[in-house]
Chain A
């Protein structure tokens, strides 16, 4: 078969150009608006970030900002730092970013500071004292450690588990580790041993098999904390399949429609919400206020933890369906 090289290259250029015509036009049309980048470590398979993004988009429309929302394809600190460096090169008006690894972000955040580009941390941040921490303006998000503690306290309010477990689906994510630590510390205070599971949940079939194996080999475990929606979804299915939904009390973090239904039917005790819509919305709003007037709040702006259980799930459900929670 003969292949016409120029034709192939022309076709490739055409395909590339036609994939993103809107972006080029919007860049030209929105010249007056401040360009604000949002960079997160989230993955497509986690519905959490879709709600966050809606918050960003709503605020960008309300406050007249040009939003450029980026995320890594898989959870990767290195990938997120590379995106941050690229965002710096675009010389935006401001950047809103998660900081899942404070050491890895130190150098790029210092470059941003030196370049005069303000940065607001959202969702997960540098937990060191202010004098030691990375240079960013302030933090908007939940308190992960408190969230883990609240999950444990909720379980302890209904029973004293014989043995507990906590499932981190993105090992290495400092925010998830803090949730797990809050849970484990609180359980230890109550004299209950808690194991930490670290298998990934992006392949639900494999994750389900691993969880089944764990629950079979640890028959005394009767309380499980899933630190996000992906492991919560898998755990709900596994406990149902094993007929352990009543024996093992399941509590989770964050909120999806599946978790709302599970709270309603009693297979999930509750979930700790960090109201990520607010993280997106307030991220843009505070950045715009900083750019226009130089406002900086006195400390972190906490959007969580907030417990959703049977008592308030009906109110929350409508908001979940609308994509706000």
Chain B
């Protein structure tokens, strides 16, 4: 029950942000929601299937660039079309890439994903006619549900209509992911993670399940990337760089990969902590590197793991 209460409070808080908080915070919530979508997907692969991808930024970049290419090179402005296109492009790229990557596990899987991520990064950097090279591309303002909102000032557009639009997308995808991990399919993924030999003996195609997980997580990353595009306004190749992949894995670990909502919490804490650290000192990497090191050494379960550890103790005290 406390879980549901916390979730309700969290959702109410997120919904009220545009009305109660300064627009600045509402604007910070946009990347949070986009990364929450990315991380829900990544955690299907990392937390539930046990594969650590060091190239997931490829799909984030793919989604963001899909939006940019559609709005600048074609007359498409509809956000719905962009999201669907990003999902399709993500799946189309992830299907063959995943087929090759899931043949390996552990460090070799990590290295393959990293290599594919760098291939895409180099492609974005060098084929500037299509991608704008290192300067990237602008994303023109998408219309939402058929409503062209060109006349609105940029902040008003992002803080109210785009905010709730992104929230709705996040909500739908969260429910979908909840259904996925709590279905028999989700159980199969966990069996593949915990004991691949036994899963294979029980008749599960281990490689096939890893591949499904890879493609679904890539689709989430691409949709998250497409959501990230309009708030940042300009997409550039660093979105697909390997350090960005590392940061995404970091966010998942920060929140806790063993819990369904861990990655969402991780994205939230990462974005807001990065903002507050950067308002004091420019060296956020030093602070975050230290946090990551402490997490890995002392609390590999992340924030959710710490909360779970703290809760029974609190109950005992009472």
Q: Do A and B bind each other?
A: no
Q: Give A contacts to B, CB under 8 Å.
A: none
Q: Give B contacts to A, CB under 8 Å.
A: none
